[in-house]
Structure 1
Amino acid sequence: MSVDQTQDGQRPAAGRTRIQERNRAAILEAGLAVFSETGFSGATLDRIAREARLSKPNLLYYFPSKEAVHTALLENLLDAWLAPLRALDPAGEPQQEVLAYVRRKLELARDYPRESRLFANEVLRGAPHLSGVLGGELAALVEEKAAVLEGWMEQGRIARMPAKHLVFSIWALTQHYADFETQVRAVLGEGHDPFAEAGEFLDTLFRRLLVAP
């Protein structure tokens, strides 16, 4: 997932030169590395500047504080984070739609573990930069998709259960593999692909859970 980068052949954002785009992208990439490793409280502008291979005054030209770097990262993350749930199709086959959502969430954890830890750390801090989104856009999206799930339950197409807690369980069981990746790999040992094994396990787990009586 891009952290506000441009690719070759693309024009930079309005008002920015290509050098400014590269520097901004380098700062956000460095911020992602530092925040996902140390959390917000452990991060410093000095370390982010070192990671970005820029001077601190140069960094401050783009972002006036570490809060600004952190907020920009979270804003860039949100669309990608909500996309898997948005893709749940009310017109699809219920069990397959839920299983596909589980797979998409696990792939997101596999491909973007630092972003997952950034999000988790923000929530653990009380979500000071995301409270509006959590209680607004995210809550509305979960409400919408929970209504879809409840409709399928009413029709007897999947087992009855609290729909929002089903969504919570999918979040917990997929993001765990990113947020606690070090622990997972240490317990499994060498020679194991935790995400491949998790994919098979979670598919079996939710397939059985969803079967209507």
Structure 2
Amino acid sequence: MSRIRVKNEEKIIRAASRIFAENGYAATKTADIAELAQLPKPNIYYYFGSKEKLYRAVLESVTEPLLAASAPFIEYRDPVKALTAYIKAKLLISRDYPYASKVFASEIMHGAPHLPEDIIARLSEQTRTLSAKLNDWVGQGLMAPVNGHHLLFAIWASTQTYADFNWQITMALGKEELDDGDFDQAAEVITRLVIDGCRVKSLTEG
């Protein structure tokens, strides 16, 4: 794939993420995406074929990082290390893919009418795997007796909010946009709430 094609596809996906997030799927016009991307409208169809396929590309641009975020659960046997890295990864998705994250959240809130079945299957399998891992740590006495699914839901909500409610957060902090320091502080607070609140133990602890 040529560098020009890759660059143009990335520009279109970034622009589409913002337009879909602001207008919703039905109200989004490819002409608006092309204008924001500063590319001719025919380029949208040349690279993606249709609005539906472009929407899927936007969803994939964030679901792939979401799926990759579970890597710490495989990489680390230690629940403290795994949860700390997972929370940070989830926050970085909100930082790096803010509009695509909003598109994904909106899709879920509307019952996932456009979310492809293969993506649903992969996300569902990830959820089962992570929940089972959390429940296994509970069984080993490395965590308080909490439900793995509901702990995941709490982590998702607390990390996703930095994308979905970015305007409210920046207003509360009195700044135009969040910086890396804000996300570092968010990671510290959320991690502490999870580790201390669920009494998560490191494998190195007695």
5+ residue gaps, structure 2, are 202-206
> RMSD between aligned alpha carbons?
2.5
Question: CA, structure 1 residues 33+135, in 2 after alignment: closer, same or farther (shift >3 Å)?
Answer: closer
SS of aligned partner of 2:143: coil
5+ residue gaps, structure 1, are 1-11
Equivalents in 2 of 1:60, 1:134: separation in Å?
A: 23
1:119 corresponds to 2:104: yes
Q: Kindly report which structure 2 residues correspond to 1:138-157, keeping only aligned pairs within 5 A, or say none.
A: 138-157=123-142
1:83 corresponds to 2:68: yes
Q: CA offsets, 1:64-120, max 9 Å, x none?
A: 432221112222332211111233137521123112211211122122212211211
Q: Is the 8 A contact 2:76 2:82 kept in 1?
A: no
- TM-score (normalizing by structure 2): 0.83
Equivalents in 2 of 1:175, 1:19: separation in Å?
A: 32
Percent identical pairs in the alignment equals 35
Equivalents in 1 of 2:76, 2:163: separation in Å?
A: 31
CA apart distance, 1:172: 0.4
- TM-score (normalizing by structure 1): 0.81
Equivalents in 2 of 1:57, 1:112: separation in Å?
A: 25
Q: Number of residue pairs matched?
A: 198
Equivalents in 1 of 2:162, 2:4: separation in Å?
A: 36
Equivalents in 1 of 2:199, 2:3: separation in Å?
A: 53
Equivalents in 1 of 2:80, 2:198: separation in Å?
A: 7
CA apart distance, 1:167: 0.8
Question: CA, structure 1 residues 133+179, in 2 after alignment: closer, same or farther (shift >3 Å)?
Answer: farther
Q: Is the 8 A contact 1:185 1:194 kept in 2?
A: no
Q: CA offsets, 1:179-198, max 9 Å, x none?
A: 11001111222498542332
